[in-house]
A and B are shown apart, each in its own frame.
Chain A
Amino acid sequence: MYLGRVIGSVVATIKISHLEGRRLLMVDRLDTDGRVTGAYDIAVDVVQAGPGDTVLVLDEGNGARQILGLDPGAVRAVIVGIVDEVALAADR
């Protein structure tokens, strides 16, 4: 899992059945200072996240299939949480 920020959304009428009715959001991966890095993923949202939200992203197929109830399921990235606080050690 990693921390990301929702920076936008993707609309696609033609898509595989596993994605029907799913919200697809653009998530930019964050560094340890909470800044966007430019590394991104298009993720399925299951927690009603919105633009600007700091989110927890699952990036693994078996977990994604489990949480979406799919088998087979061609999904890896799923937004599984909205983050309230990150506390880091001073010495990293």
Chain B
Amino acid sequence: MRLARVIGTVVATRRSAGLEGIKLLVVQPLDEDRRPTGRPEVAADATAQAGPGHLVFMVASREGAQALPERFVPVDLAITGLVDDVHIVEAARRGGPTASWRWGH
């Protein structure tokens, strides 16, 4: 799953079968420091509680459809949670590997 900021909503009156009743939101993907990265995308809201301004995480590909009540739907990105807090441990990010890392085998 990746972090994103909800930046808008989508209204589509004519939809393919399976997309009825699904809330669609425009999301801006974020890097691990919550800076925008890449282009905005449209995600289905599987929490039913997300809205513009919310920090969320989302799951992509076929697993996006599995987040929704009906699993066989034409969806490839879904919001699966509203983020309360992201805690980054800087020492863990900046340190060396904890595993033994050997070359020459």
Which residues of A come within 8 Å of B, CB atoms? 5-16, 18-19, 24, 26, 28, 30, 33-36, 38, 40-43, 51-54, 61, 64, 72-77, 83-90
Contact between chains at A54 and B46 (CB < 8 Å): no
Which residues of B come within 8 Å of A, CB atoms? 1-3, 31-32, 46-47, 49, 57, 59-64, 66-67, 71, 78, 80-89, 91-93, 95-105
Chain B residue numbers with a CB within 8 Å of A51 are: 89, 91-92
**CB nearest to A14 among chain B residues:** B82
In the assembled complex, the CB of A89 is this many whole angstroms from the nearest CB of chain B, namely: 6
Chain B residue numbers with a CB within 8 Å of A19 are: 80-81
Contact between chains at A7 and B93 (CB < 8 Å): yes
Contact between chains at B84 and A13 (CB < 8 Å): yes
Question: Which of A35, A41, A54, A61 is close to B66, meaning CB atoms less than 8 Å apart?
Answer: A61
* A38-B32, A76-B1, A83-B99 given; A11·B84 CB < 8 A: yes
Contact between chains at A14 and B103 (CB < 8 Å): no
Q: Which of A34, A51, A53, A61 has the most CB of B within 10 A?
A: A51
Chain A residue numbers with a CB within 8 Å of B104 are: 88-90
Chain A residue numbers with a CB within 8 Å of B103 are: 87-90
- A61–B99 Cα distance when bound, in Å, is 27
- A76–B91 Cα distance when bound, in Å, is 27
**CB nearest to B95 among chain A residues:** A52
Contact between chains at B89 and A52 (CB < 8 Å): yes
Contact between chains at B67 and A18 (CB < 8 Å): yes
Q: Which of B3, B59, B85, B86 has the most CB of A within 10 A?
A: B59
